[in-house]
Amino acid sequence: MFEFFTNKRWFLWSVCGSLLILISTWYQVQLDVKINEWFGEFYDTLQKALTTPGTVTETDFYAYLFTFAKIAGLWILINVFTTFFTEHWVFRWRTSMADYYHKNWHKARLIEGASQRVQEDTLKFARFLETLGTGLLDSIMTLIAFTPILWVLSKQVTMLPIIGEVDHALVWVAILAALIGTVMLITAGIKLPGIEYNIQKEEAAYRKELVIGEDESSRAAPQSINELYNKVRLIHYKSYFHYLYFNAVKWSYLQGMVIVPYIALAPTIVTGAITLGFVQQIARAFSKVETSLQYLVRNWNLIVEFISVWKRLTEFEDRLKLSDEFKPKVS
């Protein structure tokens, strides 16, 4: 799976491409920082216009909107470019894997399920890598950029409900809330990777029997395929049950977190110590830090599927390296 980084053929794509994605993602995050600053200034201006009529002209108001349009337009441009390039970068990685499997196909074809590993699982690997990899990179960059901002802004928020005075309170609230959520979701979804792996295993056995039955009339008899399908049905029902309580925990946590920064800000807001613009700015910075720390929580479903694909490809490559000759399994 790592021919992409060890083969000289892919050096420009693997190393230089990675660097380009890193730089473009960082620049995109910096634009997010600019947008966050704009939110603070814009809402302060909005508050001023509403409370003191005549102090803000229509020209001033449109100027703020034009500033946002410029920053947002550049953000869109960078985002579209990064997405386009990342898709090509990930497909090159998949191509490096496919090349390795093609060169060793005389051995690989003797392994059960080889065609599915080479075609379907490399496709899934690429898609999951694109989504999870870019998401992880963005989360890390966002965390690096917005944590210092939240730290500075939190100087003006010295009181928390019930707890009382805490320095840089919102930073600690974000970290603690994300930690609690991550532990909750990992605990609730600990069985999901194994279940997902078993789903693919049972589906593969069912599909194999049907494919063989296309050429051999003695195979895929109603009784045998019904037995295989029953196994597929049972493992899917098991999956639905586990996802039921997993999703209940996940969405309860995520929806509850929407109001957490406002609960933390309540003592400061009611005293009138901060402006509307400051509330918007610090709430958005809090959301950025919190969302970055919630990477596992928000992507656990995809991570579960990715682990399953990773496990199948790892087993496939291990068997490919064990011997120069593989005997086909007899079902």
62-70 average pLDDT score: 93
Query: 136: pLDDT confidence band, cut at 50, 70 and 90?
Result: very high
How high is the mean pLDDT of the chain?
86
CA distances from 121 to 25, 144, 199, 200, 311 (A): 27, 33, 14, 11, 10
131 neighbors 273 (Cβ within 8 angstroms)? no
Please determine, for residue 323, whether its predicted confidence score (pLDDT) is greater than 70: no
Q: Which of 192, 152, 127, 198 is nearest to 36 (CA)?
A: 152
Tell me the angle at which helices 295-322 and 276-293 cross, rounded to the nearest 10 degrees.
Answer: 20
Q: What is the DSSP string of 112-135?
A: TTHHIIIIIIHHHHHHHHHHHHHH
Question: Quick check: helix, strand or coil at residue 32?
Answer: helix
Domains and CATH numbers, the chain: 3-322 (1.20.1560.10)
Please determine, for residue 82, whether its predicted confidence score (pLDDT) is greater than 70: yes
Please determine, for residue 155, whether its predicted confidence score (pLDDT) is greater than 80: yes
- pTM of the predicted model, to two decimals? 0.78
Query: 331: pLDDT confidence band, cut at 50, 70 and 90?
Result: very low
Calculate the dihedral angle through the C-alpha atoms of 139, 295, 162, 275, rounding to the nearest 10 degrees: 40
Please determine, for residue 73, whether its predicted confidence score (pLDDT) is greater than 90: yes
Q: Which of 290, 313, 306 is nearest to 131 (CA)?
A: 306
In this predicted structure, what is the pLDDT of residue 330? 43
Question: Which runs of consecutive H residues, i.e. helices, occur in the chain?
Answer: 3-6, 11, 17-51, 58-103, 105-108, 114-115, 122-153, 169-188, 192-215, 222-257, 260-270, 276-293, 295-322
Q: Going by DSSP bridges, is the β-strand pair 164-165/159-160 parallel, antiparallel, or unpaired?
A: antiparallel
245-266 average pLDDT score: 88
